[in-house]
Structure 1
Amino acid sequence: MTTFDDRERAFETKYARDEEMQFRVTVRRNRLLGQWAAEKMKLTAEETDAYAKAVVQADFEEAGDEDVIRKLVSDLTAAGVEVDESVVRRAIEDHTVEARRQLMQAE
């Protein structure tokens, strides 16, 4: 039975590590998205930092990316930036890749 128990523990450990890594990628991605949007809105460095944190916080409203998409589209549109949902979705894809790359380099 110990071999089975060892395999089960190893699987649980891997699952927990994968979930933690996915969470870290999502948080990093949202921070990068906030910086991307802040640049488009021509915010100052201090405003950019605060806005990036606000985008990270927005992701905790509901599961999935829809809350972040709504925030970015709404804020960009309010700032007079021509943007639609497809542009934001593409930015999410691009920044997810970049966030994963940054985290892998850091390890």
Structure 2
Amino acid sequence: MTTFDDRENAFENKFARDEEFQFKVTARRNKLVGLWAAEKMGLTPEEADAYAKSVVQADFEEAGDEDVIRKLLGDITSAGVETDDAAIRAALDAKLVEARRQFIEEA
């Protein structure tokens, strides 16, 4: 039975590592897209950093990306910048690729 137990533990550990990696990548993506939005809104570097952190926090409101998209869309349009849902989704996709690349380069 030890072989099966070892194998089960290995799969559980891999699953935990994969989930942690995905969480970190998503948080990094949200920070990057927050910085992207802050630049569009013309925020100062200090304001941009604080705004990026608020975008990361917004992702904890509900499962999926809709909470982040809703926040970004509302904040950007409130700042008087023209944007739409598709532009924000495209930015999320681009920043996800960038976030993964950054983690891979750090390893």
TM range (shorter): over 0.9
In the alignment, what sits opposite 1:63? 63
Residue type at the aligned position of 1:83? T
RMSD: 0.4
TM-score by length of 2: 0.99
TM-score by length of 1: 0.99
Q: Show the 5 A alignment for 1:15-34.
A: 15-34=15-34
Q: Return 5+ residue gaps in structure 1 as ranges.
A: none
Counterpart of 2:61 in 1: which secondary structure? coil
In the alignment, what sits opposite 2:53? 53
| 1:9 Cα deviation after fit | 0.4
How many positions carry a matched residue from both structures?
A: 107
Deviations 1:46-70 (A, max 9, x none): 1000000000000000010000000
Poorly superposed stretches of 4+, deviation over 2 Å: none
| 1:2 Cα deviation after fit | 0.8
CA distance in 2, matches of 1:22, 1:96: 10
Counterpart of 1:4 in 2: which secondary structure? helix
Q: Does 1:12 align with 2:12?
A: yes
What is the percentage of aligned positions where both structures have the same residue?
69
Residue type at the aligned position of 1:101? R
| 1:36 Cα deviation after fit | 0.1
Residue type at the aligned position of 1:48? A
